[in-house]
């Protein structure tokens, strides 16, 4: 991967579905890279245990401003 990315891993962001091996390798090879988790996978994995999380999680994940995020976290939504 290093030849594809170049020597600037601080600008690299890796999206993962929380596969620990992939995350560990990325952190080892590109210590400056940002690791983020795929929201679709997080929601799908939690949906079986936490009914109603789906719409709430998507609303909160799209709250890009701090004030909106805090407001949305206080107002959980029921799954319809």
Name the residue range of residue 60's domain. Answer: 39-80
- Pair (54, 70) in one structural domain: yes
Tally the domains of the chain.
2
- Pair (32, 48) in one structural domain: no
- Pair (32, 43) in one structural domain: no
Q: Rounded to the nearest 5°, which phi and psi values hold at 38?
A: -75, 120
- Pair (23, 60) in one structural domain: no
pTM, two decimal places: 0.49
Tell me, what's the pLDDT at 79? 47
pLDDT tens, residue by residue, 24-69? 887 888 777 777 777 887 787 777 777 777 788 888 888 888 899 8
- Pair (16, 51) in one structural domain: no
Let me know how long the chain is.
80
Q: How many CB atoms lie within 10 A of CB 60?
A: 19
């Amino acid at each position: 991967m290093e030849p594809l990315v170049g020597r600037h891993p601080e600008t690299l962001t890796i999206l993962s579905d929380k596969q620990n091996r992939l995350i560990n390798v990325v952190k080892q090879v590109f210590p400056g890279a940002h690791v983020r988790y795929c929201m679709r996978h997080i929601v799908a994995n939690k949906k079986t245990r936490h009914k109603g999380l789906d719409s709430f999680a998507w609303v909160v994940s799209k709250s890009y401003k701090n004030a909106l995020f805090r407001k949305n976290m206080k107002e959980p939504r029921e799954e319809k």
